[in-house]
Amino acid sequence: MHYPNGKRNNGINQLYAGNYPKKFSNRGMTLEKDINTTNKFYKDTNKAVIHKKPTPVQIVNVHYPKRSAAVITEGYFKQPSTTDYNGIYRGRHIDFEAKETRNKTRFPLSNIHHHQISHMKSIEAHGGIVFLIIRFSTYDETYYLPAASFFPYWDEQFNDGKKSIPYGAIKEKGYLIPFHFQARVDYLSIIDQLYF
């Protein structure tokens, strides 16, 4: 393909040829944006309805510099949030937490909170599909880690266990999530393999 400057753009040619150039795979987007784009695609194609849960905030002070504009100057979190996302897919409740780390060798358990684990265990006990999506941004790899594989690491840390999950264990026990242009974090393809 030639552009008005007369130069050939090899990146575009590679893209259309099905060969994604390295710079394209390192998209520079956050995990949350990728998941939100994926969820919109799932909803638009009537595949699933998954939403990001809003964090409940108590607004205390509002400043009105103009009649048409309000600025929140003070607010507090009402209560601890549960997980990041939930919804329904093929008649099953879906509930998951999404985390991104730059750490090359491990996923720190400090990224997750006790109330989130309690919530996830409760959902799993009632038959919901519960998991974590963990992105190692340095490697541009995103993994689906079933809650059942995650819970033992969480519980062991309170019995003198490690405070993190090794990268190798996530590669072994988790599932690499494929990247697609529209479903950037296609976690439903993993759920299809595991549950349906």
Q: Which residues are annotated as a binding site for Mg(2+)?
A: 82, 84, 97, 116
Cβ burial of 15 (10 Å; 0-12, 13-18, 19+) is middle
Tokens of 167: 């990268």
Question: How many other CB atoms sit within 10 Å of the CB of residue 60?
Answer: 10
Binding residues: 82, 84, 97, 116
> Edge-to-edge, what's the strand order for the sheet holding 85-89?
49-52, 85-89, 92-101, 129-136, 141-146, 175-176
Question: How many other CB atoms sit within 10 Å of the CB of residue 145?
Answer: 22
**Spatial contact of 142 and 177, defined as CB atoms under 8 Å apart:** yes
How is residue 178 annotated by DSSP? Answer: P
